[in-house]
């Protein structure tokens, strides 16, 4: 197996989300292209991007590990 395939063909949903977010935010690929490449419907990919933007993260680093825990912000639907 080509080692690059480990990065290009995600094997689980967390890795797939990471690669989709990276393609959109780092590589600046258009949303519909990202959706097609990673097997999302276009509307689902929009939600993925927006949820990432709306998320807050707690980060912890020690000499062996890095932990990132995302927590979605609460939205007030009644607020304009």
In a domain? residue 18? yes
Contact between 54 and 72 under an 8 Å Cβ cutoff? The reply is: yes
In a domain? residue 77? no
| Count of structural domains, the chain | 1
In a domain? residue 79? no
| Boundaries of domain holding 31 | 5-72
pLDDT digit string, tens, across residues 6-33: 777 888 888 899 899 999 999 999 999 9
CATH code of the domain covering residue 67 = 1.10.10
In a domain? residue 10? yes
**23 vs 57, residue with greater confidence:** 23
* Model confidence, pTM: 0.67
Contact between 9 and 37 under an 8 Å Cβ cutoff? The reply is: no
- Around Cβ 77, how many Cβ atoms within 10 Å? 4
């Amino acid at each position: 197996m080509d080692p690059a395939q480990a990065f290009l063909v995600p094997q689980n949903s967390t890795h797939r989300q990471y690669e989709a977010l990276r393609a959109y935010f780092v590589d600046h690929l258009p949303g519909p292209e990202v959706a097609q490449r990673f097997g999302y419907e276009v509307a689902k990919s929009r939600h993925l991007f927006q949820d990432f933007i709306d998320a807050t993260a707690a980060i912890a680093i020690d000499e062996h590990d890095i932990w990132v825990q995302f927590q979605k912000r609460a939205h007030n639907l009644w607020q304009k």
